[in-house]
Structure 1
């Protein structure tokens, strides 16, 4: 890549305008994949990602139709538009896959995640943790004299923000479910 030849004080543009306009930007996409609920299907879907070097940011799986024996895999991944299209095409070719929906492209969707946070602290830190939990609408699901376990539901960004605020107050442990998502509306 050639060095940019810009003299100090000659540009009135932001440094963000110096990016290559032809470079593809990585985007975050949420994919909903309807599959047969049978052994080995999840391994095949995950194998597609790992075999090609794609990363999975979040993964949730559950049976959604007991009579039809189908499950829904919700995958959050990041990639250039070309990579995302390639992932969707390759997912669609796997035999037990019935449908692949890109919720990011299909229109507005609702994403939620559940997380549990264990926070240990005494005195003012304990009071502050309870105050922040109230602001974030987190529920106390376990309490001892030394710690709390908070349950919080929301967008991944809300979960991240709550975790960052709890860290200096004594965050000891965290467990997250991964993203569950549905398209909005009737479609």
Structure 2
């Protein structure tokens, strides 16, 4: 039996594919994120790779325009390339690799919006609709003192290189 959340996600995906045209974006897939683990009485901070994050890049200006997360892991070649997006990349969107033939289509949600409300909105939204929650304009966020996208930084960030643990937004 499917969970209510998976039913909502399936409805969103079907609706987005029906209502929205595919648009091509560049992307960066995967990033380094701070991971805290407790060892006895102490917190241990380390860098860990995540494959859940996807940054969309404007094809005309080469600037970041949105960030999406796929909790099941982004299924695109790392570290960068082209992707088709259907929906509103500021909230919820379907994504698929660019190319001919059979492709997997998946759903991703912005980490900067209320997740459940975004999914409920996406299940019925039409092109041009405004979400019922505040949108945060995406900017090239650098929560650790520099870019942590694998496309920009394939090796683990280090303090020696100027990276900090001061995370904001994650």
TM-score (norm: length of structure 2): 0.23
Q: TM-score, normalised by structure 1?
A: 0.22
